[in-house]
Structure 1
């Protein structure tokens, strides 16, 4: 099992976190395998910066959790996520973890794979 630290576009970050998006399409330049772990940091291509959201965005079982909490059962997000804030480096960015449970290159561009993911957990978010 390997751990892959990757960027996740901010527009898909909440969908991965809540289980709406259960796959990633990636260039297979990291030798991904079933069982590997993805650590996805919130990123925006618009500003090419890592991102964080503000206080009260993430709720797990109805409770607001603070920075660097580990959430295993994220049920919903309290309000639509529209405001996010650029941060200076990957260590300050919001992060989620997911496990690769399926992988295929069927009908993909040369060198690309579809990764099925599950066991999604919020690793951190910055309180403002």
Structure 2
């Protein structure tokens, strides 16, 4: 499944640089390992036009708020 998600610029830059290899999200999309994330940079008012594609490689709800998950992600080749 492909999930299209908004991501703020500071988090987007951390993901695209490889420093942040996870996403914490409310599990309202029933995320699963193997799903694809289409992360669209959102400045709080508009999409910037930048995007990044990643695959969910790991998922856990350990020590998260109810209904939230941590997803390990890996950028897809030519992801940006």
Within a 5 Å distance, the mapping from 1:1-128 to structure 2 comes to 2-45=1-44, 48-51=45-48, 93-120=49-76, 121-122=79-80
- Write the distance in 1 (CA, Å) between the matches of 2:50 and 2:40: 6
Shift of 1:116: 0.3
List per-residue Cα deviations over 1:64-95 (Å, max 9, x = no partner). Answer: xxxxxxxxxxxxxxxxxxxxxxxxxxxxx211
Q: Matched residues in 2 for 1:37 and 1:94: separation?
A: 17
Structure with greater Cα Rg:
1
The CA deviation string for residues 95-119 of structure 1, in whole angstroms up to 9 with x for no partner, is 1000000000000000000000013
Paired with 1:42 and 1:113, the residues of 2 have a C-alpha distance of: 20
Q: Distance in 2 between matches of 1:21 and 1:10?
A: 13
Please give the root-mean-square deviation of Cα atoms over the aligned residues, in Å: 0.9
Please tell me whether the aligned partners of residues 55 and 73 of structure 2 are also in contact (alpha carbons under 8 angstroms): yes
Which structure 2 segments of 5+ residues have no match?
none
Segments of 4+ moved more than 4 angstroms: none
